[in-house]
A and B are shown apart, each in its own frame.
Chain A
Amino acid sequence: MIPSFKKFNSRFNFAFIDENTKREIRRKLLKAICLPGYQVPYSSPEMPIARGWGTGGLHVTLSVIGKDDVFKIIDQGSDASVNACNLRDFVHRVTHCRVTFDTHAATLIQTRHRIPEEQLNDGQILVFQVPQPEPLRAVERYETKTREMHGEADYARMWVSLYEAFVRYGDIMQGAGYPVMVNGRYIMSPSPIPRWDVPNLHQSDCLYLFGAGREKRLYAIPPHTDVVPLEFDDVKFRIEQFPGIRCSLSGTGGAFMDELYNDLGHFRHVINDSDFLDKLVEHKTRPQQWSNKYLQQVLDEMNANPDLES
């Protein structure tokens, strides 16, 4: 009888990706952190999910995760969406790391198109899944040209497109993925987060990492970096406004809202961030939010009209 023995204890390496590839991705991440806002090309190895479904974020997550990390993943603010659940299960299966819904308890958070409402601290990393890393793609279709434009800080056409939007629609209409100037040097796409989240990139305590798997690019915003949304002297950046609107579940405002429609065409507002909403409803506490002047203005207005609270 032929003796059977196992060559490996596990069928894959810790965190799925082999150590050499992880090392490559970490090296590229270090470069990205050194050049805030600069897009670093990387290998973008094959994953057991299709490109365009969060592979970039997954590459970053799996390359930086350690055995002691506590992992959280959200998809447009929700811990419970199919995409978030599947990726959470996958990360857990290949790392056996603890997973959580609690923003505050997590050390590593992967996100699709939102920054949590609760302020992140210096022990936390937020990993963005990025569909289109190139902010200039809308104005220039050739990669060789956009790289040259970044190299020379030639952002004329980006600015003209904002001017054009203002002229055509009376406002800079860019909703998700509002372009930002990072560290006074590179224009960067913050991934399709709402404008509501953009000010939170500025001078934060946590580290932001961005992974675009399909486009094979990594970039980063290190802690305490200047991140400024593009605006004109007389046409300013604004965040989404929810005037007088309260969440139908928690009865409060001051957070990014979803509009939920029923079959009759009626709609109600619900706070988008599921963990934030849970804490408000179940624990009756309001977690520490980010502090930025845009949000402050919203909170001030809300507090000035307490009678609106239902």
Chain B
Amino acid sequence: MTNTSDTWLLKVEGLTKIYGEPNENSVRLTGPLFGSNICPETDCIVACADINLELFPGEVLGVVGESGSGKSTVVRLLYFDLESTAGVAYFSRYGNGTLNILNESGQKKRYMRNHLMGMVYQNPKDGLNFRFSSGGNIAEKLLMAGNFNVGRIRERATELLEQTEVPVRRLDDSPASFSGGMQQRVQISKAIANNPPLLFLDEVTTGLDVSVQAKVLDMIRTLQQELGIAMIVVSHDLSVIRMLTDRTLVMKNGRIVEQGLTDQILQDPQHPYTQLLVSSLL
């Protein structure tokens, strides 16, 4: 929700992920028109297809849709957790935005993950190693960015925990003993440890109780305003989308069915599915 400039930070074209063995009709015969993402001919699953998007520096983009709509798949492809079946993605902060980051080597992808991206998963277990302390989890990102000074690592970890309102005396405790909200905040500390220009948030408040949810959302907003990080926020919860994002993509059966300014999506939805989604909002 802060400054956006006139050039994209991330540009994605035709991003597709298919599980199983597709044939030439698989993409054509799936999607919202068919109400399914399972190919009737080969039974392959088209998790997402033909995803095009542009994210500007400092912009917050929402991705909303029901379970199985492919919204998490999109961010996991972009964070290299999954391998894409087709499509290209350019990242202006890597190779001047001329390289398809999805085709880079594992080593280069890891460089991007450690220096230029952050990810916060719905389940803290996916983003944190519970066998390490919270400080150790944050240290992992800092070590991989070439910081080999224990004193400075601890200073930075302390600073991050303060920023995310985790009691600093828990620095050396394993996040396994933390509450859900606190685990999520440690995960966020880790994700932003190297000041990345791009952050993915995958259902970060799902499963937290309402007061904790508000606290986490507020913290994300504040961090975003202060650090100007561009974010892709995945959620099935329209109030999270309303609170955090400038623009929103609506996904169904692995496709984008509508995109626009968030207030427009919420107040003047065009696609029948979006209208249904908005009208179901409590």
Do A and B come into direct contact in the complex, CB within 8 Å?
yes
Task: Identify A168's interface contact among B110, B139, B172, CB under 8 A.
Answer: B172
A23 within 8 A of B: no
Residue B95 CB within 8 A of the other chain: no
Question: Is there contact, CB below 8 Å, between B132 and A234?
Answer: no
Is B175 part of the contact surface with A, judged by Cβ < 8 Å? Answer: no
- State in angstroms the CA–CA spacing of A163 and B149 once bound together: 10
**B151 engages A160 (CB within 8 Å):** no
Q: Does B62 contact A (CB under 8 A)?
A: no
A153 (CB) vs chain B CBs: closest residue: B107
Mask: chain A, 135-160; 1 = CB below 8 Å from B; 0 = not: 00000000000001001111011011
Q: Which range contains the number of A residues in contact with the other chain? A: 10 to 19
Chain B residues near A282: list those with CB within 8 A.
Answer: none
The yes or no answer to B35 lying at the interface (CB within 8 A) is no
Say yes or no: B150 contacts A232, CB within 8 Å: yes
Q: Give the B interface residue count (CB, 8 A).
A: 22
A69 to chain B, nearest CB (A): 42
Inter-chain contact B150/A163, CB cutoff 8 Å: yes
- Cβ of A235 and Cβ of B150 under 8 Å apart? yes
B54 interface residue per 8 A CB criterion:
no
Q: Does A242 contact B (CB under 8 A)?
A: no
Does any Cβ of B come within 8 Å of A233's Cβ?
Answer: yes
B residues less than 8 Å from A166 (CB atoms):
150
> A164 in the interface, Cβ–Cβ < 8 Å?
yes
Report the bound CA distance from A192 to B147 in whole Å: 28
**A148 vs B148: C-alpha distance in the bound complex, in angstroms?**
23
Considering the chains assembled together, what is the distance between the CA atoms of A156 and B140 in angstroms? 6
Bound complex: CA of A152 vs CA of B104, how far in Å?
Answer: 13
Interfacial chain B residues near A163, Cβ < 8 Å = 135-136, 139, 143, 150, 153
Overall SS of chain A's interface: helix
A2 at the interface (CB under 8 A from B): no
Q: Which residues of A contact B144 (CB under 8 A)?
A: 156
**Does any Cβ of A come within 8 Å of B85's Cβ?**
no
Check: A167 CB closer than 8 A to any chain B CB: yes
Within 8 A of A (CB), among B80-108: 105-107
Residue of A whose beta carbon sits closest to that of B139 = A163
Q: Which residues of B contact A168 (CB under 8 A)?
A: 172
Chain A residues, CB < 8 A from B133: 164, 167
Task: Point out the residues of chain A lying under 8 angstroms from B148, CB to CB.
Answer: 159, 232-233
Q: How far is the CA of A281 from the CA of B69 in the complex (A)?
A: 79
- B129 at interface, CB cutoff 8 A: yes
Given contacts A152-B107, A160-B132, contact A234 B143 (CB under 8 A): no
B143 and A164 contacting across the interface, CB-CB below 8 Å: no
- Residues on A with C-beta less than 8 A from B153 are 163
Determine how close the nearest CB of chain B comes to the CB of A236; give it in whole angstroms: 11
| B116-160 residues at the A interface, CB under 8 angstroms | 129, 132-133, 135-137, 139-140, 143-144, 148-151, 153-154
Taking CB atoms, residues of chain B closer than 8 Å to A233 are 148-150
B161 to chain A, nearest CB (A): 14
List residues 187-238 of chain A with CB under 8 A from any CB of chain B: 232-235
Residues of A within 8 A of B135 (CB): 163, 167
Say yes or no: A152 contacts B106, CB within 8 Å.
yes
CB pair A164 B132 closer than 8 Å: yes
Most buried by B among A154, A160, A161, A233: A160
- Using Cβ atoms and an 8 Å threshold, which residues of chain B touch A161? 132
CB distance from B133 to the nearest CB of A (A): 6
Q: Is the CB of A157 within 8 A of B172?
A: no
Query: Once the chains bind, are A232 and B172 in contact (CB under 8 Å)?
Result: no
Q: Which residues of B contact A234 (CB under 8 A)?
A: 149-151
Mind listing 6 A-B residue pairs with CB under 8 Å? A152-B107, A159-B143, A160-B129, A167-B172, A233-B150, A234-B151
Which of A's residues lie within 8 Å of B, judged by CB?
Answer: 148, 151-154, 156-157, 159-161, 163-164, 166-168, 232-235
Instruction: Kindly list the 5 A-B residue pairs having the minimum CB-CB distance in the complex, ordered from nearest.
Output: A233-B149, A159-B143, A152-B107, A164-B136, A160-B140
